[in-house]
Amino acid sequence: MSNRRFNSATDEEIRNAEVADSYFHRTMRILRAKGLENTPVHAEVAYKTSDPDEWFVVAGLDEVANLLSGLDVEARAVPEGTICGPHEPILTISGPYGAFAEHETAILGFLCQASGVATGAARCRLAAGEKPVISFGARRMHPAITPMIERSAYLGGCDRVAVDLAVQRMGIPATGTLPHALVLILGSTAEAAKAFDEVIEPEVPRTILIDTFDDEKFGALLAARAIPDSIYAVRLDTPGNRRGDFRDLMKEVRWELDRHGYEHVKIFASGGIDVDYILYLNDVCDAYGVGGAIADAPMIDYSLDIVEVNGEDRSKRGKRGGRKRLLLMPDGSHRVIPADAPVPEGARDLLQPLDPDAPVQEARERVLQQLASGRYRL
């Protein structure tokens, strides 16, 4: 009986493949009994779908690189933050099957969820344009994976994150707002705004929650009048059953702020915000706190498939066989070719040796540059 108090695996349990699906352990027992545990193979990770326009952001490669470090395999991958499409190999592993067989579960887990979060963030980023998008989703998921969620959200295009642990570990920007609890304990929006402004470091943006006790247009004015020189934004977190037309409500708040001389105060929306909401609100809203649409975004359903055994092509039905190269073409598009096919002029290989220390800031910038190309649609 375990004496652990939280339902999460330790680093050691992951490295020791204790999180593997049972059939991988049984497979290795069989291969060892037959003397085949070191059979050389070449495997690829790709996402298979019949929708040729589907796109996703590759994330989670930092953890894969750390897991495979020291193993007798050659691993190559696209740079983290690359936006890829169906059937494109994002990671290849070559070596004795037994060296990585029991890590398949963890490899796919690292990639599928992190890529899903990063893709959810990228879609919100694309919808919001230049307006800030903040990751608010850590509370919707198990706390053990909070750093992964926040890192993936930032990589995918979020401007800031909400959890200090992610900030400390990865050096990514944190944001500051306040919860309903502070307003409830202090008794008013104005008192909460003043207390926040008095205590919290000046570099933290003063984004004041305004809908705890007050009608939004009055709460906005209370917050602005309480700290007129330092307030950055008012946050509307109005419950869905009370907000009616959220866009119209924001227009009302904007009107009152402007006519009372607070044109500099931004409007920040949170609570059930997703891509469709952002597109609807974007002409009146200035920033977004996004929770479940990022943290609980659909995972990217990668599969890891062997395509070569003992130097011979061997792949399962439904899989495009043989070793492949993923090329970046001069026009920015991707092309998959057989490994032994000639490379078109001006093309270059996207698959490179894994780098566990690649800065997340570089991956985020890569995502933003690709989104700005106009190649990707919601």
**CATH number, domain at 356?**
3.20.140.10
Domain boundary among the residues 296, 315, 335 is at: 296
List Cβ neighbours of 334 (8 Å cut-off, separation of 6 or more): 84, 85, 88, 326, 327, 328, 350
Domain total for the chain? 2
Amino acid at 182: L
Domain boundary among the residues 296, 311, 336 is at: 296
- Same domain assignment for residues 201 and 310: no
Q: Note whether residue 2 is domain-resident.
A: no
* pLDDT at residue 206, as a whole number: 94
**Reported confidence tier of residue 137, pLDDT bands at 50, 70, 90:** confident
Q: List the structure tokens of 16.
A: 């020791």
Q: Note whether residue 287 is domain-resident.
A: yes
- Same domain assignment for residues 288 and 328: no
**Reported confidence tier of residue 2, pLDDT bands at 50, 70, 90:** low
* pLDDT at residue 11, as a whole number: 94
| pTM over cut 0.85 | yes
* pLDDT at residue 121, as a whole number: 98
- Same domain assignment for residues 65 and 140: no
CATH number at residue 250: 3.20.20.70
- Same domain assignment for residues 227 and 155: yes
Q: Are 243 and 270 in contact (CB under 8 A)?
A: no
Least-confidence region, from 134-143, 224-233, 320-329: 134-143
Q: Note whether residue 75 is domain-resident.
A: yes
- Same domain assignment for residues 246 and 162: yes
Q: Note whether residue 292 is domain-resident.
A: yes
* pLDDT at residue 1, as a whole number: 54
- Same domain assignment for residues 61 and 169: no
Q: Note whether residue 378 is domain-resident.
A: no
Whole-number average pLDDT of the chain? 94
Domain boundary among the residues 265, 296, 327 is at: 296
- Same domain assignment for residues 139 and 284: yes
Top-confidence residue, 169 or 151: 151
* pLDDT at residue 33, as a whole number: 98
Top-confidence residue, 84 or 169: 84
Distances (CA, A) of 35 to 22, 27, 42, 130, 201: 20, 12, 19, 58, 63
Least-confidence region, from 132-136, 318-322, 346-350: 318-322
- Same domain assignment for residues 174 and 261: yes
Q: Are 40 and 94 in contact (CB under 8 A)?
A: yes
CA atoms within 13 Å, Cβ hemisphere of 90: 31
How many Å from the N-terminal Cα to the C-terminal Cα in the chain?
Answer: 48
* pLDDT at residue 54, as a whole number: 95
Q: Taking residues 337-356, report their average pLDDT.
A: 95
- Same domain assignment for residues 149 and 279: yes
- Same domain assignment for residues 196 and 179: yes
**Reported confidence tier of residue 177, pLDDT bands at 50, 70, 90:** confident
Say if residue 333's pLDDT is above 90.
Answer: yes
- Same domain assignment for residues 143 and 284: yes
- Same domain assignment for residues 85 and 142: no
Per the structure, the complete domain to which residue 241 belongs is given by: 129-296
